[in-house]
Amino acid sequence: MHADDAGPSLLGIIGGSGLYELEGIEDLREVQVATPFGLPSAPLVLGRLGDQPVAFLARHGRGHRLLPSEVNYRANIHALKQVGAYWVVSVSAVGSLRAGLVPGDFVVVDQYIDKTHGRRSSFFGEGVVGHVSFAEPVCAGLSALVYAAAEAAGFAPAGDADRDEEPMPGRQARVYQGGTYVCMEGPQFSTRAESRLHRSMGADVIGMTGATEAKLAREAELCFAAVALATDYDCWHDAHAAVTTKDVLRVLSENIAHAKALVKKLAPTVTQPWVSCGCHQAAAHAILTAESAITEEARTRLSFILGRYL
């Protein structure tokens, strides 16, 4: 079954478990989804926000048990598609690499620099070679809806000039449309030299999960968007202490209500699938392996997400 045939199109949300503790969710239920790539990080929590079916997935598992490099990203994305996801929005904590992007601000990411290594970040391999286009790694249409939802949730729109402007104390939280996310392996935070290097690249934020999710969502032909919540200044800013887990948790706790508000504003706006973005044909010409050389095991493993091309 392909997501296009799964009935009402579903909005998948990847983030912390607190995101699905929303007022107004109906028919809330939990399902464990088995995939050819193993089990996802946690059971999926399914429900409805108004007329929109939604599925929430705790990226790091219940109780935050999984390191960024221990997350079974392939199973997570596959599981969301299995339950009918058409759109996937990733919500994650990041460090800010810009003076004007302060803890508590949101960035709707549009580019990635991937510095991870050793992760399973592709459904291809083990007998099937494929390459998808990744020049524009997020869905522009879905990202625009996410940005609009952030504004509707109370975030002030920010322009490019605001990224490097020293902020006034107590200013309203802002949302930035577009930004480059450096994805590092972790689990350690950056060295000061690394943080300065990432700033010199022109990057805006740094995290440990986003690029991997974006790559797999593209191969699975899902519309994907990412919301990065700045929790700290990494360790480059001389006027701020280096990031600690305590800092991250404090800002996340203070801003979880903002993330929930964004999800509630977003859900009613993604009820109509679109095809102009091209996300749902992303793997149409990706497979290079000769059809006769693809084993039945590989066909079975990839049947749900790429079966129409095998």
Please list the active-site residues. Answer: 232, 234
Query: Which residues, 6+ apart, have CB-to-CB distance to 123 below 8 Å?
Result: 37, 74, 78, 130, 216, 219, 220, 302, 305, 306
CB 179 within 8 A of CB 111: yes
Q: What are the DSSP E strand ranges found in the chain?
A: 10-15, 25-31, 44-49, 52-58, 85-96, 106-109, 111-114, 156-158, 174-177, 180-183, 205-207, 223-232
CB 181 within 8 A of CB 201: no
3 state SS of 3: helix
